[in-house]
Every structure is written in structure tokens, then in C-alpha cells.
Amino acid sequence: MSTLRADCGSCFGLCCVAPAFARSSDFAISKPAGTACPNLLADFRCGIHETLRPQGFPGCTVFDCLGAGQQVAQVTYGGVSWRDAPDTATEMFDVFAVMRQLHEILWYLTEASAKAPADDLSVALKDVTDLTHANAKTLLETDVDALRHRVRPLLARTSETLRAGIRGKKDHRGADLVGAQLRKSALRGANLRGTYLIGADLSGADLREADLLGADLRDANVRGADLTGALFLTQFQMNAAQGDKATRFPAGLTRPTHWG
């Protein structure tokens, strides 16, 4: 999944320009969409990257483009930045929003294809990969919702296959577990798709092989939790949670620096 890892050095600071954000506990300032963050330097690096959290920008440390930024910068636009070609700026930012979604779908399909290979997964993976190499016009015309609708049952089948042998697995799909006290809970193989786990205490929980596709883990306490083999877990979800050195997680993901 190396191409699905953010490479900020090959990007044009797109995540620092394209989206809007409002002053809140996540961002120290408000910024409209399409306007560069004042912390963005001329070489597209963040001027406060090492101190984002203490300076009031924890939201920036949570975001992950899954490699969409460098794909747009180097492939779609051939290395010509929005600063060098201002007339492409608005279009580029819109393309970035589409590419970010495509790369998320690619992340899921890549994992599914590796763990439970199937012909239809291979076809879908190739189709989406090819789409990420398309021109800007094609990307902007892409019906991402239709693509998700096509992929969703493939991922669901993969999940069922991989979790089939786990006894007593729980189904909390789409449940509201905001702030829930789930410390040391037995959630191995649980279906947690789309589950709201904001601020939930999952410390020490057994989340091995749990399906976490789309689960909201913002500020969830996963200190000491075992996420080994968790399905469809992304770096974005990891960054949003609160873990520690004892938290175990799937290979291919990186321990967030703010976990300590």
C-alpha cells in the first residue's frame, strides 16, 4: 500500500489549501476553501509541522490523504502546481477532493484483495486504479457514490469471509456508542462498520479482526487495545484515536506521533 501513503514532499500542500476549516478545538483559525493556510511555506511545507498540536492545529495531525495529494500533483497535473498555473487552482482542489475518496476506496479494495482474493475484487481494484490515472475532466465527472455502491457488497463479503470462524462476535454496525465504556471488552471479530465510537473507552479491548470500516474513532481511547488484524482500519482513524505504545495495530499503518 505504499502508493496509498501520504508523501507531502511530492504534493503542493493541497490539504493546506483546498478544504475550509473553522476555528475550533481542532483549528486555531478559520480558513475558507481554496485559500492557503498562513502556515504554508513557499515550498509547500508546513511552517509549524513539528508543533501543530501545541499551536492549536490538532485537526491537521489527524487528516490523511492516503496518497491522493501526490497523485493529483504529480500524475493528474504533471508536477505543475497551482501557484505556477493559477488558472488550474480551483479545478485542482476539486480533483483532490475526488481523488481522496478514490484512494480511500483503493485502500479498502487493496486490503480485501490481499486477504481474500477474488476475481470481482481484482476487476474493481484495476478499474479504480485506472481511474486515479485519468485526466481532470474524467475525475470530476466520476460518480463516487455509484462506485461506493458497487464496491460495498464486495467489502462486506470479504469481511464476512474473514470473520466467519470467530465465535460469539458482536454486531454493533452503525450503533451509537459515543462515550461508551468498553474497557477490556471482548470485541474480537465484531462488526463495527459505521459505528459511532467518539470518545469511547476501548482501552485494553480485544478488537482483533474487528470490521472497522467507516467507524468514527475520534478521541476514542484505544490505549493498550489489540487491533491486530482489524479490517479496513485507515491511518485517518488511527490519527483520530488516542493510543499509546501498548496499542497493537495492523501492519501497514503507522503509530501516530501524538500517541507518545
Q: Residue 201's beta-bridge partner residues?
A: 181, 221
d(CA 40, CA 188): 42
Give CA torsion, residues 244, 245, 248, 251, to 10 deg. 110
d(CA 133, CA 144): 15
Q: Sorting pLDDT into bands at 50, 70 and 90, what band is 82?
A: very high
Q: Sorting pLDDT into bands at 50, 70 and 90, what band is 1?
A: low
Q: Give the list of residues 6+ apart from residue 23 with CB closer than 8 angstroms, or none.
A: 29, 30
d(CA 236, CA 59): 11
Q: Sorting pLDDT into bands at 50, 70 and 90, what band is 260?
A: confident
Average pLDDT estimate for 157-161: 98
Residue ranges of the domains in the chain?
2-162, 168-260
- Could you give the 3-state DSSP secondary structure of residue 13? coil
For 31-47, write each residue's pLDDT tens digit: 999 999 999 999 999 99
User: Taking 70 as the threshold, does the pLDDT of residue 2 lie above it?
Assistant: no
Average pLDDT estimate for 179-202: 98
Task: Tell me, rounded to whole angstroms, the distance of Cα 175 from its chain centroid.
Answer: 20
Q: Residue 143's beta-bridge partner residues?
A: none
pLDDT score recorded for residue 232:
98
Query: Measured at the alpha carbon of residue 158, what is the angle toward residues 154 and 164, in degrees to the nearest 5?
Result: 140
pLDDT score recorded for residue 3:
84
Query: Measured at the alpha carbon of residue 187, what is the angle toward residues 105 and 173, in degrees to the nearest 5?
Result: 50
Helix (H) or strand (E) holding 18: none
pLDDT score recorded for residue 99:
98
For 104-126, write each residue's pLDDT tens digit: 999 999 999 999 999 999 999 99
Mean confidence (pLDDT) of the chain? 96
CATH architecture of structural domain 168-260: 3 Solenoid (2.160)
User: Taking 80 as the threshold, does the pLDDT of residue 158 lie above it?
Assistant: yes
Tell me how far CA of residue 1 lies from CA of 99, 174, 177, in angstroms. Answer: 16, 27, 31
